[in-house]
Structure 1
Amino acid sequence: MGHKTRRAFLKVSGAALGGIAVGTNVVAAESRERFIVDAKSVKHTDGVEVVHRLDPVNLLVVRGSEKEVKKLGGKYAPDLVYTLDTPVEPTQESATDEPYYEPFQWDKQDQQIPEVHEITRGEGTRVSIIDSGILETHEDLTGPLNTELSRNFTNDGEDFSPVGSDHGTHVAGIVAADDTNETGTVGSAPGTELVACRVFSGPSATFADILAAVVYSAEIGCDAANMSIGAYPVDRRKNGSFYGGVLNKTMAYARNQGMVVVVSAGNDSADLQHDNGEVLEVDTDGDGELEEVVLKGGHWISLPNEAANVMSIAATGPIGYKWGEPGLEAPPESPAFYTNYGTNAVDLAAPGGDADLEALDSEVPGSQQDLVFNTTFTGEDTDGDDIPEPPFVPSYGWKAGTSMAAPQVTAAAALVKSVNPDYNANQVMSTLRNTAEVPNGYDKAYYGAGYLDTLGAVQD
């Protein structure tokens, strides 16, 4: 299987947000006990437990029976549960005292991050990582992480630290890994302040907790928020319309508070612009087997990246970085095989990693180096559920996905804000778009305004 072979692993559900936090691949099932309620018409909350009160956007998240929720009087829809997944299996590398910038970080080299740091390292800014938590003991993240502001938005009773997945830790490193401690990796904006907003408990997160994290991030003055989270395909009809409206309202509030929200476009190899008749390989019944499904009707959407007031980010990556013969088969700005695309559905493209799947599956030496390398952790799986358990040991590893592309742009937003502290969210986003260009010879549908130019953005 060649590296551009389509790998669309989706599930479509009836009410249906199908999606993930590492791109978009896994069904989001409806909750039967938690609901998102439009609070404008609600006169009381008798009979239900209020989980989140999102006053700035007139929403309530409640726990209770649907019978009791109906009595509240407001429009509502079930909360949704997301599950983590990745388009490429990640690999680990043990932590050492040797810096990993030169041998592994093609993404930071391509974005000329050392030259960027001669202008700014992101000082004076704050970035929210809405994800699976950040390992506060990681040597490359202890400096930028604000543990007092970091929060857990789930109901698992723990703090903001990871419960299983190192996805958020990897995303955080892409944004702000310490570049001054002579160990590990380099982040694009190591001078920014990170806030961990954990919405995943193990492999699962809920739509409502994600909304609550966005509102909180805006309230505490974050300049940018990274959401490597997605759902596709979403039916615009029925509850899909409600979820879309709720997202638009929440993201408009974030923008008006000055926060740029950056979202991964998804890992389905899907044309989001022309998905009427899109052929997907889908696990329709949850048995693990893929069936061919054709999307019909032209009423599908990807969320939250196609919501208003967000930046939707596609992924690029090289093939053959420091391992291929006779050299690079594809440059860093070439579209990744898995990335979603669509001219009006993508704002920018950024380094997210690519893969020659035959080489990777065959464990060809160095083939993992086309993925994105940054902060991770390891832990023992004592019960066989494939979820690492504490104590976690800081490490470094490769991952790929639009989840890795989004934080490149989130960091760039912080850098732009750092050199232009009076800019509002629209001005920061405009700078990122205006300094990006579509690479020669490539389809604009994969890039929107173009390929991220971090150095150009801070020089603009």
Structure 2
Amino acid sequence: MSETSRRTFLQISGTVLGGIAVGSQVTAAARTDRFIVSTGGRADLSDLEVVHELDGVSYAVVTGDEKDVKKSVSNYAPDLEVELNEPDVNSEVPTFDASDYEGQPGDFLQWDKADLNVPEAHETTEGEGTRVAVIDSGVLETHPDLAGPLNLDLSRNFTDDGGDHNPVGGDDHGTHVAGIVAADNGGGAGVNGTAPKTDLVDCRVFSGPTASFADILAAVVYSANVDADVANLSLGAYPIPRQGNGTFYGKVLNSAMTYANKEGTLLVIAAGNDSADLQKDKNFISLPNEGAQGLSVAATGPIGYGWDADGDDEVTDLESPPASPAFYTNYGTNDIVLGAPGGNADLEAIGTGVPWFNDLVFNTVFTYEDTDGDGEPDTQVPGYGWKAGTSMAAPNVAGAAALVKSANPDYNANQIESALKRAADVPDEYDKEFYGGGYLNIVDAL
């Protein structure tokens, strides 16, 4: 199936689209017990329970009855609970148990790092002296490839579920994202991240499949306040109406994002996986990637990496190169800043017995297993596996940003982004709407 026909098919079939990447199916529900309020620095919140003060911006997150909220502030909106459904195709690919991984060809499977010339970039820096926050579903601290980079003292749980920063249940999305940024090869037997010597901060905003919009805002502000050089947000909600409460949500998001940028934190954000032209959508907005100061990332990927996709009995050629736009990625020339490896898929190959999943991004994951024999999963077992999405493209850029900051310690957030954009080029055979400034080029950015 050609890229054009595949994209057209997915615009018609949302159910198939929902099977490829985290964030492709999104629902948002307004909470009745939790509110984002504009404080203006003067509001009396004594009758309400303050959940997040959002230090640095004139907003707070509170719980209480709406009548009490109305008495305290004049400008507010309900918190949004955003649900991101785990994609079917990501759960169908194989995984490796970390304890059985020795000898597996991790370097070969990581086409994204090879195409970005990460080993060459590491001759200059591996991210020393930088800090990257991952705002996601939690990072498994026992994973051998992440235990080194992960800063346990600064990692936080922003939800109200009472747990720590580690993932809840079997949600390994944040663990995969963190590995793309900073996996340190587990002592030589694991996988590689782009910036393995960065200081990795885990900001968990998901409790199971749901995340609060307010918790995401709080994690953005926290990342800035702990001096993160980069914050990665492989999450989002689309479509959100531009009118009504959408205006309020846009203002508070822009306030938090502008604050983070001013404090030196570059916000790298997944563009979303709806195959949508964000530039032409005048009625709805995609958040947070269309917020102020965000570096929005679209996804690319190969077709035929390590398998015979074109049927010529050769596994060394590709039907599509790694810089090809992924069929699911959102796009729009003025809404995308960079394109980067996020994984691709030939939908017709799924279920045929070929390793179609090689075209997804390979990195750290875990499985949720029954280790005590009671029939209920109870243990998170570190491993390695594949996922695809703009969720995977964003951390490739976040890791690259950490390398640029490491090589240029005096750069602020805007200068880091500028270096990445100056080095990027749009592939000759593709349209700018899928790349914005171009395809990520780490070596030239350094």
TM above 0.5: yes
Given the two structures, how large is their TM-score scaled by the length of structure 2?
0.91
Quick one: which of 234, 240, 246 aligns to 1:234?
Answer: 240
Residue 366 of structure 1 pairs with residue 366 of structure 2: no
Q: In 2, are the aligned partners of 1:175 and 1:189 still within 8 Å (CA)?
A: yes
Aligned twin of 1:435: 423
- C-alpha change, 1:99 and 1:192, in structure 2 (3 Å) is farther
Q: How much does 1:10 deviate? A: 6.7
Residue 363 of structure 1: how far off its partner (Å): 4.1
Tell me the equivalent position of 1:351: 341
Moved more, 410-419 or 225-234: 225-234
Map 1:141-290 onto structure 2 (within 5 A): 141-164=146-169, 165-179=171-185, 181-275=187-281
In 1, Cα distance between the equivalents of 2:177 and 2:37?
31
Which letter does structure 1 place at the counterpart of 2:188?
Answer: E
Q: Spell out the pairing of 1:38-53 with structure 2 (5 A cutoff).
A: 38-40=38-40, 42-53=42-53
Distance 1:88 1:431, change over 3 A: farther
Q: Distance in 1 between matches of 2:23 and 2:431?
A: 21
Secondary structure in 2 aligned to 1:50?
strand
Distance 2:378 2:366 in 1: 10
Query: Which position in structure 1 is the counterpart of 2:287?
Result: 303
3-state DSSP of counterpart to 1:313? strand
Conserved 8 A contact 1:23-1:265: no
1:54-90 Cα offsets, whole Å, 9 max, x none, are 1311111011121111111231111011112355621
Q: CA deviation at 1:93?
A: 1.9
Between the aligned partners of 2:231 and 2:43, the Cα distance in structure 1 is 33
Change (3 A) 1:168 1:180: closer
Deviates more, 1:61-70 or 1:106-115: 61-70
**Superposed displacement of residue 49, structure 1:** 1.2
Report the Cα distance in structure 1 between the residues aligned to 2:402 and 2:79, rounded to whole angstroms. Answer: 31
| 1:447 corresponds to | 435
Comparing both structures, which one devotes a greater share of its residues to helix? 2
Residue 314 of structure 1 corresponds to 298
TM-score by length of 1: 0.88
- Specify the alignment match of 2:332 in structure 1: 342
The runs of 5 or more residues in structure 2 that have no matched partner are 16-20
Retained in 2: the 8 A contact 1:42–1:72?
no
Q: SS at the partner of 1:337?
A: coil
Q: Which position in structure 2 is the counterpart of 1:69?
A: 69
- Superposed, which structure 2 residues align to 1:89-128 within 5 Å? 89-90=89-90, 91-94=93-96, 95=98, 96-128=101-133
Match of 1:408 among 396, 408, 416: 396
Structure 2 CA distance for partners of 1:315 and 1:195, relative to 1, 3 Å? same
CA contact (8 A) 1:25 1:85 kept: yes
* Correspondence list, 1:368-407, <5 A: 368-380=357-369, 389-407=377-395
2:56 is paired with a residue whose SS is helix
Paired letter, 2:203: C
Q: Residues 300 and 344 of structure 2 are in contact (CA less than 8 Å); yes or no, is this contact kept in structure 1?
A: yes
Separation in structure 2 between the aligned mates of residue 351 and residue 171 of structure 1, nearest angstrom: 12
Is there any run of 5+ residues in structure 1 with no aligned partner, and where? Answer: 12-20, 276-297, 383-387
Letter aligned with residue 432 of structure 1: L
Show CA shifts across 1:348-373 (max 9, x none).
0000000001212x143211100000
Structure 1 range deviating more: 260-269 or 100-109: 100-109
Counterparts of 1:31 and 1:242 in 2: how far apart (Å)?
15
Aligned position for 1:288: none
Distance 1:141 1:363, change over 3 A: farther
Distance 2:377 2:160 in 1: 18
Structure 2: how far apart are the matches of 1:214 and 1:389? 32
Find the aligned partners of 1:45 and 1:363 in 2 and give their Cα distance. Answer: 59
Partner deviation per Cα, 1:243-265 (whole Å, 9 max, x = no partner): 11111110110001101000000
Please tell me whether the aligned partners of residues 173 and 186 of structure 1 are also in contact (alpha carbons under 8 angstroms). yes
Counterpart of 1:282 in structure 2 is: none
The amino acid that maps onto 1:125 is T
The share of aligned pairs that are identical, in percent, is 58
**How far, CA to CA, are the matches of 2:299 and 2:85 in structure 1?**
16
Query: How far off its partner does 1:24 sit?
Result: 4.2
Q: Is the 8 A contact 1:10 1:26 kept in 2?
A: no
Distance 1:47 1:419, change over 3 A: same
For 1:84, give the aligned amino acid.
L
Q: Secondary structure at the match of 1:241?
A: helix
Q: Match of 1:256, as an amino acid? A: K
Shift of the 236–389 alpha-carbon distance from structure 1 to 2, 3 Å rule, reads: farther
Q: Tell me how many residue pairs correspond in the alignment.
A: 421
SS in 2 for 1:429: helix
- Which amino acid is 1:83 matched to? E
CA distance in 2 between counterparts of 1:417 and 1:177 reads 18
SS in 2 for 1:374: strand
User: Alpha carbons of 1:86 and 1:348: their partners in 2 closer, same or farther (altered >3 Å)?
Assistant: farther
Q: Secondary structure at the match of 1:262?
A: strand
**Compared with structure 1, are the counterparts of its residues 153 and 184 closer, same or farther at alpha carbon in structure 2 (3 Å cutoff)?**
same
Q: CA deviation at 1:28?
A: 1.3
1:43 deviates by 3.0
Shift of 1:183: 1.1
Deviation at 1:316, TM superposition (A): 0.2
